[in-house]
Amino acid sequence: MNYRLFGKSGLRVSEICLGTMTFGPEWGWGADYDESKRIFEAYANAGGNFIDTANRYTEGSSEWFVGDFTTNDRDHFVIATKYSLTDKAGDPNFAGNHRKNLKRSVSESLKRLQTDHIDLLWVHAWDFTIAPEEMLRALEDLVRLGDIHHIGISDTPAWIVSQANTIAELRGWSAFVGLQIEYNLLQRTPERDLLPMAKAFNIAVTPWAPLAGGALTGKYLYETDEAKRLKPESARLNERAQLITREVVAIAQELNVNPSQVAINWTRQRDQIVVPIVGARKVGQIEDCLKCVDFVLSPEHINRLNTVSAIELGFPHDFLASDGVKNVVYSGEYDKIIDLKR
């Protein structure tokens, strides 16, 4: 694999990130220790160095496994983990974005990861109970202590991320260098505000579920037991989802590759920093997905996928892109202004 610069941080990360929510059997569908180690080794042997986990994943087993797998070569790997989700049901201070939970959660993650620092700490989800500057100051304190090197934010509205990074720049604090979001051919709504915001602030994007929970592999196109368990109105199984998936499968057949590789490459091939998070329950799955780095989709293929999965951007985007508005904003000379970003 090649490497990408992770936003403004200058951190060098592999072009595919290994997601480890599947490391551990506690949730009933993950890999055990030995299979998780095989998945990790397949990723590392392919040149991968970017590992994504969280305090909540598989009740802590994911972090324990990652710590065991990386302890002999800790500084080679870029380890990202998260805080915000609960570690103790029924206790409100064991969850959320506030300082008390942050400090406790990071201390416990460091123990499980068997390390003295976290390369990238994600705010896992916005809880709407704290001022951005309060949380940023708490994160900055941990950066200055050396417990964490960089910060990122996940599953949060674009206006909050924009506000936070503007405050951080004004006050000389660490800003968010990464944005983690759901993004795939079935879920393109981040294109309305989150992705343009990330590009404007030079924030790296790490999409989770680039295969839409496996739907884009094509496995739900057939009457399997797994497909029957999904509701027909599911966004991953409805008529639109099947239409998009069939186009992914068709392009994969044309290129003699697997549909998963096509779907992942569609997320990667944007005009900004995008590093998809790819997880697996079996070593064969990660080996298959990693082959996406061996080819690129042609402009024709990208156009076909964009067309079949197109969404309405909504107001104000569609309004501002209309011919009537462009005519009055640019005095009828839109096509002649060569510096316009299109």
Please say if 57 is a catalytic residue: yes
Transcribe 12-71 into DSSP letters: EEESSEEE-TTBSSTTSSSB-HHHHHHHHHHHHHTT--EEE--SSGGGGHHHHHHHHHHG
31 DSSP β-pair partners: 23
181 DSSP β-pair partners: 207
Q: According to the CATH classification, is domain 3-307 in 3.20.20.100?
A: yes
Q: Which of 3, 33, 43, 57 is catalytic?
A: 57
Q: Determine contact, residues 281/29, Cβ cutoff 8 Å.
A: yes
Domain borders along the chain are 3-307, 312-342
- pTM for this prediction: 0.94
Q: How many residues does the chain have?
A: 342
pLDDT in tens, the chain (342 residues): 999 999 999 999 999 999 999 999 999 999 999 999 999 999 999 999 999 999 999 999 999 999 999 999 999 999 999 999 999 999 999 999 999 999 999 999 999 999 999 999 999 999 999 999 999 999 999 999 999 999 999 999 999 999 999 999 999 999 999 999 999 999 999 999 999 999 999 999 999 999 999 999 999 887 666 666 666 667 888 999 999 999 999 999 999 999 999 999 999 999 999 999 999 999 999 999 999 999 999 999 999 999 999 999 999 999 999 999 999 999 999 988 887 765
